Amino acid sequence: MNTHIRWLIVIVLLSVFCLWVVIPSDEDFELDFNDDGTPDLVFRAEQPLGLDLVGGLRVLLQATIPESEFETDDLIETANSVSRRINALGLSEATIQVQGGNRVLIELPGVTDREQAISTIQQTALLEFVDFGGLAGQTERYIGQRILTDVQLELQTLTEEQIATRLRSVTDEPFVTIITGSALKAASAQLDQQLGASWAIAFEIKPEFQQIFAEFTASRIGQPMAIVLDGEVLSAPTVQSELSSGGVITGQFTQEEAQTLALQLRSGALPIPLRVESAVEVGATLGRASVELSIKAGIIGVIVVLTFMLLFYRVPGIAADLALAVFILLNMALFKLIPVTLTLPAITGFLISIGTAVDGNILIFERIKEELRAGKEMQEALDTGFDRAWTSIRDSNLSTIIICGILFLFGQTPGASIVSGFAVTLALGLILNLFTAIIVTRTFLYIITGIMHDAIENHKWLLGA
């Protein structure tokens, strides 16, 4: 019993935390540190909603140059560049898909500034070769970080807040750009002949920029030079010798890493101009109606399930109902903390996961009833019921989780992203069910049967037997 009491305390504390996360509040909480090193606590957990629920902007872009002048991978990387810019605007719930060989579909939930969004996503990738002289041995901390350069300031593509953020993250001064992607002629991944199986990236510089690049590299031999795409440092190789017409970027790359970096370089060097084929503002009225209907359907379904479990299984039904409440709280808290963008398919996945949670409890209770009918004592029947039901619950949930993984992968293909939200919420529910069905239900049931031991011993029907 002491073990179950300890688990009960954990479950109650976890439920209180989840309830605090789920209930909307104007107060925020987040662990951060000020410049002087003192902690600054602020919490922010907002539930992102999809375009079908809150409305927003749906933009279809089309390449203005013939498909023969670029590859599909180049268009995909262009879409990735658009994604990076959109995320920099704080629109992390945006959906970007490549459609066909020359189109990109973008959905921006909750966007109100139409012109800013369109102007941002129409920009081509900004590739920069940046002077990192004096940072030899210190480049690792810059990889993957966003930096500020003089070219970015000249192009005026950043807000004051973004400029301040980039300065605070790495340095107090902007870096100097030597050449941009417009100077790059080509880039490709290849095996490094000197290093054997190691991969490298070969690149070529256009003739009109070769002197500038040669003078710079001659003065920076032994020093790093950063390759920056849309403000993010991709790599910072060391200059080995004077380079004029081009060079080779080494760094113990795998084949996939080399191909990815070469593709990113080409994306910055080969602008694929995108024009707006269509821009449709999606109203939120239908979204609100859909949310209300989904909530009503979910509430009715949960009430029916809770009532069924209580009437059919009696005391175990009480434990199942409490466990189901904890299950719902855990899911809703994770949706906000991860965060998971809720769309109608995602909500559907969550509602289906509630059914699987109940199904796990039913397997347990039916096992317990079989043991009681076989003449076993209540405690032994409970132990055996949980032990024998566990393998069935585990295997059924894991098989469905595998299917969710396959659905999620299919959701990454153009035009099928709506499947991803369904797969994510269903998979989260199945994983949490492994915890709630075995730990939470067991804890509640053992404590309730411990309190009502004498009454249950005299009235077996309280266990649904």
Confidence at residue 174, expressed as pLDDT on a 0 to 100 scale: 86
Measure the CA–CA gap between 48 and 208, rounded to whole angstroms: 48
Within this chain, domains 2-22+284-463 and 51-124+274-282 share the same CATH topology: no
Confidence at residue 290, expressed as pLDDT on a 0 to 100 scale: 66
Confidence at residue 56, expressed as pLDDT on a 0 to 100 scale: 83
What are the boundaries of each domain within the chain? 2-22+284-463, 51-124+274-282, 127-262
Measure the CA–CA gap between 133 and 226, rounded to whole angstroms: 9
Spell out the residues 6+ positions from residue 137 whose beta carbon is closer than 8 angstroms to its own: none
Average pLDDT, the chain: 82
Instruction: Tell me the fold of 127-262.
Output: Gyrase A; domain 2 (3.30.1360)
Instruction: Tell me the fold of 51-124+274-282.
Output: Alpha-Beta Plaits (3.30.70)
Measure the CA–CA gap between 133 and 332, rounded to whole angstroms: 49
Measure the CA–CA gap between 133 and 141, rounded to whole angstroms: 15
Share of the chain above pLDDT 70, in %: 83
Quick: pLDDT tens for 78-103.
887 777 767 655 555 677 888 888 88
Confidence at residue 40, expressed as pLDDT on a 0 to 100 scale: 46
DSSP conformational letter for 138: -
Confidence at residue 111, expressed as pLDDT on a 0 to 100 scale: 77
Residue 33 region, left (φ>0) first, then alpha (ψ -120 to 50), else beta? Answer: beta
- CATH 2.40.50.100 correct for 2-22+284-463: no
Confidence at residue 288, expressed as pLDDT on a 0 to 100 scale: 64
Q: Is the pLDDT of residue 180 over 60?
A: yes
